[in-house]
Amino acid sequence: MPHHDATLADHSVAVAFYAFKMAKLCGMAGNADQIVRGALLHDFFHYDWRTAKPRSGGLHGFDHPREALENAEEEFGPLTRIERDCVLRHMWPLTPIPPRYGESLLVCLTDKAIALQESWRALRSGKGLGVL
Ligand SMILES: [Fe+2]
């Protein structure tokens, strides 16, 4: 289930790593554990988004955060309110409700930066984005 030429695991670890680094720079190191868990789980869905749909039958971009949260809580038990917000709100502003906490805003912005870097790398390698 690649995100362009990166796997979802590669993507999630990169988001967690850079969100952790940014948390330290932004004075949020006290909640770094929740930021890392939220980042690692933000895309915890189990289908290839290019060829399949979420369980809801809706659009991937809008519905995968809810599915990722359901999968995460089924696998690991209840998440904290910050971890839940990291997962549920990471697609803002595509999804209309913004992150509620600084920690979840940090994961949301880091996800976009990493996705942009992955897209740029895929384009530069000549592989394209693999979505068209
Ligand atoms: Fe996502």
- pLDDT values of the chain reduced to their tens digit, one per residue, 132 residues: 446 677 999 999 999 999 999 999 999 999 999 999 999 999 999 999 989 999 999 999 999 999 999 999 999 999 999 999 999 999 999 999 999 999 999 999 999 999 999 999 988 988 777 654
Burial call 68-85: b when 16+ CB within 10 Å, e when fewer: bbebbbeeeeebeebbbb
Ligand 1 centre to CA of 28 (Å) is 22
Q: Which protein residues have their CB within 5 A of the ion that is ligand 1? A: 43
* Residue 35 to residue 46: CA distance in whole angstroms: 21
Burial label, 131 (beta-carbon count in 10 A; 0-12, 13-18, 19+):
exposed
Residue 114 placed within a domain:
yes
Residue 131 placed within a domain:
no
Ligand 1 centre to CA of 21 (Å) is 20
Residue 24 placed within a domain:
yes
Residue 130 placed within a domain:
no
Residue 2 placed within a domain:
no
Domain count, the chain: 1
Ligand 1 centre to CA of 8 (Å) is 9
Which domain, by its residues, includes 114? 8-46+59-124
Residue 66 placed within a domain:
yes
Residue 53 placed within a domain:
no
pTM, to two decimals: 0.92
Place of tokens 């976009």: 112
Ligand 1 centre to CA of 88 (Å) is 9
Residue (of 42, 43, 64) closest to 53 by Cα position = 64
Residue 132 placed within a domain:
no
Ligand 1 centre to CA of 3 (Å) is 10
Ligand 1 centre to CA of 90 (Å) is 6
* Residue 122 to residue 14: CA distance in whole angstroms: 16
